[in-house]
Amino acid sequence: MQVPHLVGPVMDPVAPTTETKEPITVTPTEIIYHRRLHVLDHAERTGNITQTCRVFGISRKTFYQWKRLAERYGPEALVPKPRRRPSCPTPPPPMCERPGFHDRSGYWVTGSRAGVL
């Protein structure tokens, strides 16, 4: 597998240097992507997957998932997918806004407890 060479000032996410000539912006997504590439490159250089997994602290299952993604779709597939924001729970229905449907702690009550307060 060929690891693409990056052009321009790029900070190594594994061993960052403190000497920079110009400001560098590195997002968490880029750090994760470069780490995954570094893991696959290390395994290819050493030829020992067990040692690579121990050095980087990942499971063999994760390694093989990354390797399969990179072989099938290219190294760009190792970029983590964006996650959607968690949805808020649905508010109680309007009929439960009446005072009789809340218990003393402020939670609304359903089922057999709805009439007993």
User: Taking residues 21-47, what's their average pLDDT?
Assistant: 89
Q: Could you read off the pLDDT of 54-73 as tens digits, one per residue?
A: 999 999 999 999 999 999 99
> How confident is the prediction for the chain on average, in pLDDT?
77
Range of the domain at 113: 87-117
User: Taking residues 11-24, what's their average pLDDT?
Assistant: 63
Does 63 share its domain with 75? yes
What tokens does 37 get?
A: 């590439």
Does 65 share its domain with 100? no
pLDDT value, residue 53: 96
Does 74 share its domain with 23? yes
What tokens does 5 get?
A: 């060479």
Distance in angstroms (rounded) separating the CA atoms of residues 27 and 77: 17
Distance in angstroms (rounded) separating the CA atoms of residues 38 and 32: 10
pLDDT value, residue 82: 86
pLDDT value, residue 117: 47
pLDDT value, residue 87: 74
Does 68 share its domain with 91? no
User: Taking residues 75-99, what's their average pLDDT?
Assistant: 75
Q: Is the pLDDT of residue 18 over 70?
A: no
% of the chain with per-residue pLDDT over 90: 44
Does 112 share its domain with 71? no
